[in-house]
């Protein structure tokens, strides 16, 4: 256990990290107007302004309210507005009505952020209990998760506009050939899965535990737009053989014929991006797929999705040392065939933050890796992202796997 | 028929009226932020920014495009965004998705208004054909209709906010006792209904025609909050005897127990208003009623709603000279029992503006009078407002009527 | 007022009519199996077995319970099951769940009918108060209304079966050329509308009252399948100009491209009928139209629907003596442009039967005439049928009208 | 490989089993009327008549069509009506419209069964290829699955009737005290899961494979009504702490406050059963729970649901020899926390029967054991039943488990 001096060093480091992450959130909304930040384009997405306020509410509620001497709420009426889903903390404004909150204005929410930032910084200069530091670290990681959501939610909002406006026209798209796909083999066996006690991890990554994995192969890179287009052009969305029954019903009912942001057809295939609408880059990983589409594509490819244990084991192995080349992180989240479930021995945190993850462990599937919208340094080998099978507004793609017969 | 000089005088008068009305629209949004002006709180309501843009689009499309030499669209991509329902003009952005239009920003829409205003003014200095003047007059009246909608739509938006924010806290509510209700008798007979050729009227008010009206009585003023509260407190919303079957189903399904903006109960009855939430003023006319509620209240009162012919005849008669006292205009629109139908011999205008009224003449009921949100000078004796039976976000109230037996 | 002997003669006549009508209901279900009689094909339609039971419940509840000495309910538990919408009488089984009532069986319901028939007949031998006779007469007319519904509801059920089974293959379709359409002119003026005190009429046909009708013309016969097919083939369902806005939304949302029971297209146009699926007979009146379709067809035809006053006046006039030729009754109900509203001075009957008609007088439109499914002798000149604008499972067609300018 | 004689012996045995199982299906509908057998009470349930026909269609399509010389369809039009979900075989009548099939009648479907039975028997006397025998065996097991569905679907239908009619009043409920609950401990480790090559199993039970199981404890019997009632009475349905977020939303939205067929409250708790409505037997296993309810109850009990591997391992162990006492089979299916997924190396059967299981492996959870409605001899140790998390019309209950810390 570190001594007091150690704690204060840790507190200083954390304070700098806190400032950096908070500043990055504000930087994300620079290209946006107050209107862009206020509107909710679907129940699953939240307004950027709400993300700005909710992440601040998280620090105010879980850190200041508990540790700040003489705590007073910044604006008591906002407590309900910016509580996402913490039933233990009190009532919540309905998720699908977050877009109705024209008040407070964007300017008022930014002022709220500044005030709470200052109070957290002050607190960190004076106190350094482990639990305080842990909660601030949780708040920082939480804010990073919302940074990714700000990007994906804004992308969805702009995509619904008939004129396909751009979020950011400054960045240049990378153009590079995709390397050839190779199959990497793993023997499996009894493997260790999950986060250990060192460094930050979410409760859903713990405890580290054993699992048995049969021999398997996994693709050396993500599926590209060109490969997925071949599936589309082969009539993949019209052939029941490739689809889970529920996925087939879903594409019929929703009239789905290609990934979420694809436009046009094989003669003129375009994609809505944060830079507006552009011709599809065939070498880039395909993204914005639902689980159903990822699974159907895998079946058409005579392969399957990896389990989350296979995925984690593959990237933990020395064979996968050339990790950048394998796109562990940085392009799209990678659907696994593993339903989101507690690890054996899982214990949610005590108190309201115990609602962070555990209560969502049903009818969702795990995605691994990270995406171009994930803040640098946020994702880990053991990180578990999760979404329902029809969700496709996240940057979700495919890495194929297949059984390795021991013939 | 007036000579050229007369036309130019008329054009000058119209130009001044155009400027006044356009300026009044902007004045209405002064208390609002860009966020307030962008959000759509339900499919029936439109964002204030959309109203600002649509009324401008109306002048650009129906006036400038036809009469301005060398016309060029201000922003061709906006044509679809701000077309409400004119199929003849082209595609329309879906009504229920008007709230997704974070672009153009409020500032850009105000600039659009200024540019079109200037071009209309320039045009009016140079040209004065009767058809041009008529279309500008139609556009002005159209803009006034949207002024009322801006008020009712903003009221609805703010009412959905958990903190009940105010639109305008500067105005003082009037406090006055309601006069005693008297019954005014009319013999009826063959009466003339509808607008004649002098002065502006909408096509749905024409042609002037005959109708037979049986003897009837009509209330000298609107139903007050106190009178309606007595109905509520008598269990009116729990007693099937008062309700149309469809209305009963509606209040069950929607859990409706009082007028739209009433809060609390008989011990603490409040109302959401443009000035925030306040105790109900018992003397004011009850408003924000659906047709179903107006009709049920009338039945409970051993009376009925007037037909639109009775209403118009009553206010056209000399007996109703003290018209202010009778609240013909100025408090709430008054539900009539008349379904919205074409008058005998009705002809919609030629061209796209023919879609203005005629195609809505089904499953709606006529409201007469005007409301506190109606722009001064807009409503007429023959004016026909109309809404579906469940609509209650308009300022809609009740004036009772009953049969007069000739005993 | 008739003496006792007169009453008993009336009672005898009524008893015979009662028996005839009750027997005709049973005859209607002869071609049907217990399964056919039990299933509900949509919320608007009821199972034939339910109609058999409900009409019986009507006599039991409104006649026996009040007039039979020592009344005991046949099966107290059924009271809720077969109450349609009489709130005053007590709870009702939900309309959309009538198809769940597999018990009592068809046989048990027929036994229920026999038992109640016997008790009514016994009662009629002993008592003859005017109110009793009136209620039995109301029950008879009510049963006739349900006879028509049995036919239309069964037709709908069978139409939903992929194999298009026939209700009755014994009857031969009539094949005859349609006479040429002529326009009959009427001067209008102040006319008398509604039923007088002689003979049976429903409360919604009363009181007889005055209305003013402008000069008009009306078609000498109903619109035929051939005429309507010309509208379809002219792209009528794809051209917004002909449609009420609400109707246009409806055909888009429901993917409606032709009348309810039409199948195939112009190259092979067939119709589902009670005799199964057959080639369309071009000379027969078009039927199973919604109000929206009837109205759109009329606009495409440069005509309009008649008001119910025009319709009644035309058939009351001597000019329309050749009434059979004009198809007043016997083919399809004829949509009018009149919304279903109480006549001036309308009073619903006292007690629960007051719920018979009045509470439905909103958002429906009046149909006049009668159809091939209307029991012989049931419809009158003043008879008012009514349905919502989207309803098309009734035998509903069009008779055109137009303004007559007094040039 | 057995010789010809062996095949024919196997064919004879199978023929007898075929007859027995087919006869048992008919016996199940003895208490039912044609109406009972025709109606569909919700989209998830099918009419009993449809089950009778579909299981017959299965033999006709997958056995006769392939193996019978000179095969002719019994009624070609029925092919679409009774195909459940085999896309490879052709079109299917929509699942939610099975209740519209009043034709063919119950009598005609029984005749269809007899005709196909005879043809299958004749075929079995003449041919004995392994693949034929396998498909008939699959058809028999398939029919047994539908036997269970007939019971649960009829129970649901009758439960929706306001008078709570009984399916069968002849059987006497068993009344016995529940034994005390004990916790049985297992060390876990690498265990073998799934069916081996001997005897029949569905494809979803194969291949037999290894899994790692951590030490755990499992309850010696199912949760009883009394135990579950304690959860209800403790406010379990009003306390968010026990619920998955999705489950909490579900009970709010659907107004769920107790198991599907429970009625009344703690003062008068009754249950709808196949014998009608009765007082709850506190000693019987609680049934008709959704996954959400089973999971919430487990959390309230400071326990959890077992994984399907834990469940199978526990019952495979010698410690669990007293298997009857442990209620492996015979009361209710037992929810596990395992999402329904393919076993490593899973291969669906070739051809249309490959659609039997694999395409449903998403968003469902595995139930193990068997129920009082499962045909005798049908369920196995390795048998995997599966339903979505909100399903509760099956006989689904809870067996608790918990982690075993190796302290």
Task: Report whether pLDDT(C167) > 90.
Answer: yes
**Burial of D324 from C-beta contacts in 10 A (0-12 / 13-18 / 19+):** exposed
| Cβ neighbours of D100 in C, within 8 Å | 39, 41, 157, 160-161
Contact D403, D270 (CB under 8 A): no
Say yes or no: A103 contacts chain B, CB-CB below 8 A: yes
pLDDT in tens, D155-192: 999 999 999 999 988 877 777 889 999 999 999 999 99
Task: Kindly identify which residue of chain C lies nearest to residue D94, measuring between CA atoms.
Answer: C162
- 3-state DSSP assignment of residue D267: coil
Determine, for residues B105 and A77 on separate chains, whether the beta-carbon distance falls below 8 Å: no
Identify the CA nearest to A239 among candidates A227, A222, A251: A251
Q: Residue A35 and residue B98: Cα distance in Å, rounded?
A: 13
Identify the CA nearest to D102 among candidates C33, B195, C220: C33
DSSP state of B317: S
User: Which pair of tokens denotes residue A69?
Assistant: 């001497």
Contact B287, B272 (CB under 8 A): no
Q: Are strands B262-263 and C183-186 parallel, antiparallel or unpaired?
A: unpaired
Higher pLDDT pick, C139 / A355: C139
User: Is the link from the previous residue into B104 a cis peptide, with omega within 30 of 0?
Assistant: yes
Identify the CA nearest to B75 among candidates B121, B118, B109: B109
Please report the pLDDT score of residue D4 as a whole number.
65
Tens of pLDDT along chain A (407 residues) come to 445 677 777 899 999 999 999 999 999 999 999 999 999 999 999 999 999 999 999 999 999 999 999 999 999 999 999 999 898 888 999 999 999 999 999 999 999 999 999 999 999 999 889 999 999 999 999 999 999 999 999 999 999 999 999 998 887 777 788 999 999 999 999 999 999 888 899 999 999 999 999 999 999 999 999 999 999 999 999 999 999 999 999 999 999 999 999 999 999 999 999 999 999 999 999 999 999 999 999 999 999 999 999 999 999 996 555 555 677 777 899 999 999 999 999 988 888 888 888 899 999 999 999 999 999 999 999 999 999 999 999 999 999 999 987 54
| Neighbouring residues of A191: CB distance < 8 A, sequence distance ≥ 6 | A210, A211, A212, A213, A309, A313, A316
pLDDT in tens, B240-282: 999 999 999 999 999 999 999 999 999 999 999 999 999 999 9
Identify the CA nearest to D358 among candidates D368, D366, D369, D347: D347
Write down the pTM of the prediction. Answer: 0.95
In this complex, the residue of D35, D77, D163 whose CB is nearest that of residue C34 is D35
Say yes or no: A362 contacts chain B, CB-CB below 8 A: no
Name the β-bridge partners of A270. A263, A279
Determine, for residues B100 and A160 on separate chains, whether the beta-carbon distance falls below 8 Å: yes
Please report the pLDDT score of residue C8 as a whole number.
77
User: Which pair of tokens denotes residue B94?
Assistant: 């879906």
Going D24 to D27 to D32 to D35, the CA torsion angle's sign is: positive
Please report the pLDDT score of residue A232 as a whole number.
98
Task: Kindly identify which residue of chain A lies nearest to residue B36, measuring between CA atoms.
Answer: A102
Determine, for residues A244 and D339 on separate chains, whether the beta-carbon distance falls below 8 Å: no
Identify the CA nearest to C296 among candidates D5, D49, B362: B362
- The chains in contact with chain D, meaning 3 or more Cβ pairs closer than 8 Å, are A, C
User: Which pair of tokens denotes residue B375?
Assistant: 């722009």
Mean pLDDT of C307-320: 88
| Cβ neighbours of C248 in B, within 8 Å | 87, 359
Say yes or no: A86 contacts chain D, CB-CB below 8 A: no
Going B33 to B39 to B41 to B44, the CA torsion angle's sign is: positive
Q: How far is A234 from chain B (nearest CA, A)?
A: 33
Mean pLDDT of B284-312: 97
User: Which pair of tokens denotes residue C201?
Assistant: 């009429």
Determine, for residues A291 and D362 on separate chains, whether the beta-carbon distance falls below 8 Å: yes
Q: Residue C393 and residue C247: Cα distance in Å, rounded?
A: 16
Contact D86, D351 (CB under 8 A): no
Q: Residue A56 and residue C84: Cα distance in Å, rounded?
A: 56
**Any contact of A with D, at least 3 CB pairs below 8 A?**
yes
In this prediction, the residues of chain D whose per-residue pLDDT falls under 70 are 1-4, 318-325, 406-407
User: Which pair of tokens denotes residue C99?
Assistant: 């198809």
Say yes or no: A6 contacts chain D, CB-CB below 8 A: no
Phi, psi of D178 (to 5 degrees): -75, 135
Say yes or no: D75 contacts chain C, CB-CB below 8 A: no
Q: Residue C345 and residue C366: Cα distance in Å, rounded?
A: 18
Q: What percent of chain B is predicted at pLDDT more than 90?
A: 85
Concatenated DSSP letters for A286-302? P-S--HHHHHHHHHHTT
Concatenated DSSP letters for A213-252? E--EEEESSPPBHHHHHHHHHTTGGG-GGGS-HHHHHHHH
- 3-state DSSP assignment of residue A73: coil
Residue labelled with tokens 């010789």: D3
Task: Report whether pLDDT(C278) > 70.
Answer: yes
| Cβ neighbours of B389 in C, within 8 Å | 362-363
Q: Residue B315 and residue B369: Cα distance in Å, rounded?
A: 10
Distances (CA, A) of C63 to C113, C117, C121, C129, C135: 14, 11, 11, 12, 6
| Neighbouring residues of D93: CB distance < 8 A, sequence distance ≥ 6 | C162, D80, D81, D82, D83, D101
Say yes or no: C210 contacts chain B, CB-CB below 8 A: yes
Mean pLDDT of B180-191: 94
Mean pLDDT of B162-188: 88
Mean pLDDT of C328-341: 92
Distances (CA, A) of B110 to A34, B57, B114, C168: 16, 12, 6, 68
- 3-state DSSP assignment of residue B167: coil
Q: Residue D169 and residue A69: Cα distance in Å, rounded?
A: 70
- What's the per-residue H, E or C state across chain C? CCCHHHHHHHHHHHHHHHHHHHHHHHHHCCCCCHHHHHCCCCCCCCCHHHHHHHHHHHHHHHHHHHHCCCCCCCCCCHHHHCCCCCCCCCCCCCHHHHHHCCCCCHHHHHHHHHHHHHHHHHHHHHCCCHHHHHHHHHHHHHHHHHHHHHHHHHHHHHHCCCCCCCCCCCCCCCCCCCCCCCEEEECCEEEEECCCCCCCCCHHHCCCEEEEECCEEEECCCCEHHHHHHHHHCCHHHCHHHCCHHHHHHHHHHCCCCCCCEECCCCCCEEEECCEEEECCCCCECCCCCHHHHHHHHHHCCCECCCHHHHHHHHHCHHHCCCCCCCCCCECEEEEEEECCCCCCCCCCCCHHHHCCHHHCCCCEEEECCECCCCCCCCCCCCCEEECCCCCCCCEECCCEEECCCC
pLDDT in tens, B38-79: 999 999 999 999 999 999 999 999 999 999 999 999 999 999
Q: What is the mean pLDDT of chain B?
A: 93
| Neighbouring residues of A210: CB distance < 8 A, sequence distance ≥ 6 | A190, A191, A192, A193, D212, D214
Contact B31, A105 (CB under 8 A): no
| Cβ neighbours of C389 in B, within 8 Å | 362-363
In this complex, the residue of B212, B248, B403 whose CB is nearest that of residue C345 is B403
Please report the pLDDT score of residue A320 as a whole number.
58
Contact B374, B329 (CB under 8 A): yes
Q: How far is A344 from chain D (nearest CA, A)?
A: 7
Residue of A189, A294, A363 best to disrupt the D interface, most CBs of D under 10 A: A363
Please report the pLDDT score of residue A407 as a whole number.
45
Identify the CA nearest to A51 among candidates A16, A7, A99: A99
Determine, for residues B93 and A162 on separate chains, whether the beta-carbon distance falls below 8 Å: yes
Q: Residue B156 and residue B166: Cα distance in Å, rounded?
A: 11
Task: Kindly identify which residue of chain A lies nearest to residue D291, measuring between CA atoms.
Answer: A362
| Neighbouring residues of C398: CB distance < 8 A, sequence distance ≥ 6 | C222, C223, C228, C286, C289, C294, C297, C298, C305, C334, C335
Determine, for residues B362 and C247 on separate chains, whether the beta-carbon distance falls below 8 Å: yes
| Neighbouring residues of A145: CB distance < 8 A, sequence distance ≥ 6 | A378
Say yes or no: C73 contacts chain D, CB-CB below 8 A: no
Name the β-bridge partners of D271. D262, D278
Say yes or no: B267 contacts chain C, CB-CB below 8 A: no
Please report the pLDDT score of residue C158 as a whole number.
98
Say yes or no: A233 contacts chain B, CB-CB below 8 A: no
| Structure confidence at residue B405 as a pLDDT band (50, 70, 90) | confident
Contact A123, A67 (CB under 8 A): yes
Q: How far is C82 from chain D (nearest CA, A)?
A: 12
In this complex, the residue of A33, A39, A106 whose CB is nearest that of residue B105 is A33
DSSP state of B87: T
In this complex, the residue of B49, B93, B163 whose CB is nearest that of residue A77 is B163
- 3-state DSSP assignment of residue A266: coil
| Neighbouring residues of D316: CB distance < 8 A, sequence distance ≥ 6 | D191, D381
Q: Residue C131 and residue D254: Cα distance in Å, rounded?
A: 47
Task: Kindly identify which residue of chain D lies nearest to residue C101, measuring between CA atoms.
Answer: D161
Q: How far is B264 from chain C (nearest CA, A)?
A: 29
Please report the pLDDT score of residue A349 as a whole number.
82
User: Which pair of tokens denotes residue C313?
Assistant: 């006046």
How many C-beta neighbours within 10 Å does residue A321 have?
10
Say how many residues make up chain B: 407
Residue of C92, C102, C157 best to disrupt the D interface, most CBs of D under 10 A: C102
Q: Are strands B333-339 and B396-397 parallel, antiparallel or unpaired?
A: parallel
Determine, for residues B363 and C210 on separate chains, whether the beta-carbon distance falls below 8 Å: no
Q: Residue D288 and residue D367: Cα distance in Å, rounded?
A: 12
Higher pLDDT pick, D405 / B189: B189
Residue labelled with tokens 């085999």: D86
Say how many residues make up chain A: 407
Determine, for residues A362 and D88 on separate chains, whether the beta-carbon distance falls below 8 Å: no
Task: Kindly identify which residue of chain C lies nearest to residue B91, measuring between CA atoms.
Answer: C240
Determine, for residues A362 and D247 on separate chains, whether the beta-carbon distance falls below 8 Å: yes
User: Which pair of tokens denotes residue A111?
Assistant: 């002022």
Q: Residue D298 and residue A10: Cα distance in Å, rounded?
A: 40
Q: Residue B388 and residue B395: Cα distance in Å, rounded?
A: 14
User: Which pair of tokens denotes residue B406?
Assistant: 């000739």
């Amino acid at each position: 256990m570190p001594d007091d001096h150690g704690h204060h060093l840790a507190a200083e480091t954390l304070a700098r990290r806190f400032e950096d992450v908070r500043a990055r959130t504000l930087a994300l909304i620079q290209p946006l107007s107050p209107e862009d930040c206020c509107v909710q384009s679907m129940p699953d997405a939240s307004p950027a302004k709400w993300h700005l306020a909710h992440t601040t509410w998280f620090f105010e509620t879980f850190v200041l309210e508990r540790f700040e001497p003489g705590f007073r709420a910044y604006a008591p009426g906002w407590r309900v507005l910016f509580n996402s889903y913490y039933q233990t903390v009190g009532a919540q404004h309905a998720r699908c009505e977050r877009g109705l909150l024209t008040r407070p204005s964007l300017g008022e929410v930014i002022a709220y952020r500044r005030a709470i930032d200052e109070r957290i910084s002050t607190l960190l200069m004076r106190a350094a209990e482990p639990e305080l530091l842990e909660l601030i670290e949780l708040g920082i990681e939480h804010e990073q998760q919302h940074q990714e959501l700000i990007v994906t939610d804004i992308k969805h909002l702009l995509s619904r506009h008939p004129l396909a406006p751009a979020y950011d026209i400054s960045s240049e798209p990378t153009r590079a050939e995709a390397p050839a796909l190779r199959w990497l083999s793993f023997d499996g066996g009894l493997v260790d899965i999950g986060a250990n006690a060192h460094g930050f991890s979410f409760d859903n990554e713990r405890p580290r535990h054993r699992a048995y994995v049969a021999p398997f192969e996994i693709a050396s890179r993500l599926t590209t737009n060109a490969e997925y287009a071949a599936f589309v052009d082969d009539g993949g969305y019209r052939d029941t053989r490739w689809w889970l029954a529920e996925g087939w019903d879903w594409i019929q009912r929703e009239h789905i014929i290609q990934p979420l942001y694809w436009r046009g057809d094989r003669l003129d295939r375009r994609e809505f991006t944060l830079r507006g609408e552009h011709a599809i880059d065939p070498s880039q990983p395909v993204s914005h797929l639902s689980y159903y589409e990822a699974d159907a594509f895998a079946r058409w490819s005579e392969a399957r999705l990896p389990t989350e244990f296979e995925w984690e084991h593959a990237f933990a192995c020395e064979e996968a040392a050339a990790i950048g080349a394998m796109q562990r992180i940085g392009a799209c989240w990678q659907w696994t065939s593993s339903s989101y479930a507690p690890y054996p021995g899982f214990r949610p945190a005590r108190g309201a933050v115990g609602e962070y993850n555990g209560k969502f462990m049903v009818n969702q599937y795990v995605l691994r890796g990270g995406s171009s919208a994930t803040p640098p340094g946020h994702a880990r080998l053991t990180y578990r992202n999760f979404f329902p099978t029809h969700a496709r507004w996240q940057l979700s793609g495919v890495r194929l796997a297949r059984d390795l017969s021991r013939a």
